[in-house]
Amino acid sequence: MPASLPGPTVGVVGGGQLGRMLGEAAAPLGIELVVLDPTPDAPAAQVATDQLVADFDDADAIRDLAERSDFLTFEIELADQERLDEVSEATGVPCHPDPATLALIHDKLHQKAALAEAGIPVPPFRRVDDADDLRAALDELGTPAMLKARTGGYDGRGNVPVESVDDAESAMDAVGGPAMVEAFVDYEREISVVAAQGDGEVSTFPVGENIHEEEILREMVVPSHSPEAVLEEAEQVGRDVLDLLDGRGVFAIELFEAADGRILVNEIAPRPHNSGHWSIEGAHTSQFEQHLRAVVGWPLGATDLRAPTVTKNVLADGDGSRPARVDGVEEPLATPGANLHWYGKREARPLRKMGHVTQVATDDESRAELLASARSLVDGLSFE
Residue 106 annotated in ligand binding: no
At residue 113's C-alpha, the angle toward residues 235 and 191, to 5°, is 30
Residue 108 annotated in ligand binding: yes
At residue 260's C-alpha, the angle toward residues 269 and 214, to 5°, is 45
Alpha-carbon gap, residue 24 to 47, rounded angstroms: 7
Q: 229 burial class (0-12, 13-18, 19+ CB within 10 angstroms)?
A: exposed
Residue 353 annotated in ligand binding: no
Name the H helices within the chain: 17-29, 59-67, 81-91, 99-106, 108-117, 131-141, 168-175, 228-242, 279-282, 287-296, 330-334, 367-379
Q: State residue 43 phi and psi, 5-degree precision.
A: -50, -40
Report the Cα 276 to chain-centroid distance in Å: 7
Residue 251 annotated in ligand binding: no
Which residues lie across from 12 on neighbouring strands? 35, 73
Q: 234 burial class (0-12, 13-18, 19+ CB within 10 angstroms)?
A: buried
Residue 148 annotated in ligand binding: yes
DSSP assignments along 160-207, one per residue: EEE-SGGGHHHHHHHH-S-EEEEEPP-EEEEEEEEEEE-SS-EEEPPP
Residue 312 annotated in ligand binding: no
Residue 190 annotated in ligand binding: yes
Pairing of strands 145-149, 179-183: antiparallel
Residue 24 annotated in ligand binding: no
CB 156 within 8 A of CB 273: no
Residue 182 annotated in ligand binding: yes
- Residue 326: name the closest of 359, 352, 292 by CA: 352
CB 110 within 8 A of CB 133: no
Which residues lie across from 222 on neighbouring strands? 309
Q: In this structure, how many other beta carbons lie within 10 angstroms of the beta carbon of residue 350? A: 12
At residue 267's C-alpha, the angle toward residues 263 and 268, to 5°, is 110
Residue numbers belonging to the annotated binding site for ATP: 108, 148, 182-185, 190, 212, 266-267
- The binding site comprises 108, 148, 182-185, 190, 212, 266-267
